[in-house]
Amino acid sequence: MSSDWTPIALSRDVPDGVTRAVCLEGSELVIWRGAGEAHVWEDRCPHRGMRLSLGFVRDGALNCLYHGWQYGASSSCVRIPAHPDLTVPPTIKANAYPTCEAGGLIWVGKEGAGALPALPATTTPVLSLAVATDGIEAQGLMRDLDGGRLHVFWHRVRPGKVMLHGVIEGSADVSRVAALMRQIRTQYEEGVAA
Amino acid sequence: MPKLYDYVLSGSCYKVRLMTALLGVTYETQAIDFYPGREHKSPAMLALNPLGQLPVFEDYGLVLRDAQAILCHLANRHDPAGTWLPRDQRFGQVMMWLGFAGGELMAVSAARMVSMLGYPGDLEALRAKGRMAMRVIEDHLSDRQLAGGIWAVGDTPTIADIALFPYVMLSHDAGIGHEDYPAINLWQRQVRRLPGFVGMPGIPDYF
């Protein structure tokens, strides 16, 4: 699997108008969705360093909670409420990362990232689950289920912690698969995973 | 008129402020100098609550302590429809989460007091307990969301949500972010959208 792209959330968990804070390899990111489109940025307002994940989405733009600086989908600041008549210079921008959605997941890419890995065309989201472990053996770990297959993707939060993202290909009882994912969490945290 | 002995930075006092706001109950407050004055340990306050804790709430001639007990009282006296404290099979589940909010989840409060006010205590141990409590809530709410729900118990908000909400939100003050908790992230937005919602320092009241 290409390491250019890392899955960091289930698409379902960031519906329109929602911000979500994510930590990837110790870096703080914000995922937000406006007008249907998901964005992944550094979780930091360029004005005063406030976490943008504490802000709010309005009119398809992300607003910083601190002074209301508003950033559009292009990540450029489009409005500074304290200077309502100012045309904001284009150099004032949030730090945006390549973003895409596939397989029910939101992915963040390296600059110039290549193609996404092959993914199941249709998936049912299960859970994102924090697990105290250094990593699991394979990106896209699979477990066969009655009538379907659980794909477990993950990203490393920081040393000693990962976030699993489970999606089902085919059909299965989602609540039972959620319980299975929590069993996997327990196995990793107790150091007994196969 | 009901009276709340209040400290603005207290998540437990905020439970009462939030519930009264949601129910439209008007009341007066008396600000208590919890920090640094330790006024909650003064003879006058100990006469109202021998445990020396806030909040204290006076209503109908009663002097009530314990935020969860006050939530029950408010729902009992000021919500005749009984939606915030259902009397059907949901009652036991609501009580279960109230006990948790006043019990395990208070590790977040304790960590916050160490972190914010310099209280003595083992911050890392308290944070670990706080994270375990947050995980219990996250697992529960993610199951609720997979079943098509959003609230802690049943299809409508109850005092269980109001009891859980403050210290879940104030965990940031204790150094516990919400990165691990996608279901909590979606639930807390719905709490903040409730008609009449009010925030507090650290909990913005718009979104």
Whether chain A has a CB inside 8 Å of the CB on B41: the answer is no
Tokens at A124, concatenated: 């049912």
Whether chain A has a CB inside 8 Å of the CB on B179: the answer is yes
- Closest partner residue to A13 (CB to CB) among B139, B186, B206 is B186
- Per-residue pLDDT tens over the stretch A126-145: 999 999 998 777 777 889 99
- Contact status, residue B90 vs residue B118, Cβ threshold 8 Å: no
Are A175 and B147 an interchain contact pair (Cβ–Cβ within 8 Å)?
Answer: yes
Which residues of chain A are within 8 Å of residue B189 when distances are taken between CB atoms?
A: 18
What domains appear along chain B, each with residue ranges and CATH number? 3-78 (3.40.30.10), 90-192 (1.20.1050.10)
From CA A68, how far away is CA A116, in angstroms rounded? 35
Tokens at A194, concatenated: 């196969």
User: A–B: how many Cβ contacts below 8 A?
Assistant: 43
Kindly list the domain boundaries of chain A, sorted by start residue: 5-99, 124-189
From CA B38, how far away is CA B86, in angstroms rounded? 37
- Closest partner residue to B180 (CB to CB) among A15, A130, A175 is A130
Distance in angstroms between the alpha carbons of the first and the last residue of chain B: 32
Q: Around Cβ A151, how many Cβ atoms within 10 Å?
A: 23
pLDDT averaged over 10-residue windows placed end to end, chain B, 207 residues: 97 98 98 97 97 97 97 97 96 98 98 96 98 98 98 98 98 97 98 97 85
From CA B4, how far away is CA B31, in angstroms rounded? 8
Does the domain formed by A5-99 have CATH 2.160.20.10? Answer: no
pLDDT, residue A2, reads 53
Question: Has the ipTM of the complex gone over 0.90?
Answer: yes
Whether chain A has a CB inside 8 Å of the CB on B148: the answer is no
Are B179 and A65 an interchain contact pair (Cβ–Cβ within 8 Å)?
Answer: no
Q: How far is A51 from chain B (nearest CA, A)?
A: 11
| Smallest CA–CA distance from B188 into chain A, residue | A18
Whether chain A has a CB inside 8 Å of the CB on B206: the answer is yes
From CA B18, how far away is CA A194, in angstroms rounded? 48
Are A56 and B206 an interchain contact pair (Cβ–Cβ within 8 Å)?
Answer: yes
Average pLDDT on A26-49 reads 97
Are B189 and A18 an interchain contact pair (Cβ–Cβ within 8 Å)?
Answer: yes
Residue A28's Cβ-count burial label (10 Å; 0-12, 13-18, 19+) is middle
pLDDT, residue B207, reads 62
From CA B109, how far away is CA A46, in angstroms rounded? 31
Q: How far is B14 from chain A (nearest CA, A)?
A: 20
pLDDT, residue B71, reads 98
Are B182 and A175 an interchain contact pair (Cβ–Cβ within 8 Å)?
Answer: no
Whether chain B has a CB inside 8 Å of the CB on A160: the answer is no
Q: How far is B144 from chain A (nearest CA, A)?
A: 10
**Residue A194 in this model has a pLDDT that exceeds 60:** no
Q: Which residue in the block uniquely carries the two structure tokens 């909650």?
A: B40
CA distances B199 to A30, A48, A189, B85, Å, are 23, 23, 36, 22
Q: What is the mean pLDDT of chain A?
A: 93
From CA A166, how far away is CA A185, in angstroms rounded? 12
- Per-residue pLDDT tens over the stretch A91-125: 999 999 999 999 999 999 998 888 888 888 899 99
Quick check: bond before B55 cis, omega within 30? yes
The backbone torsions φ and ψ at residue A189, rounded to the nearest 5 degrees and listed phi first, read -70, -25
pLDDT, residue B47, reads 97
Are B135 and A130 an interchain contact pair (Cβ–Cβ within 8 Å)?
Answer: yes
Whether chain B has a CB inside 8 Å of the CB on A155: the answer is no
Element (H, E) at B136: helix B123-146
pLDDT grade, residue A1 (50/70/90)? very low
Helix (DSSP H) and strand (DSSP E) numbers for chain A:
1, 15
**Residue A15 in this model has a pLDDT that exceeds 80:** yes
| Smallest CA–CA distance from B144 into chain A, residue | A175
Whether chain B has a CB inside 8 Å of the CB on A181: the answer is no
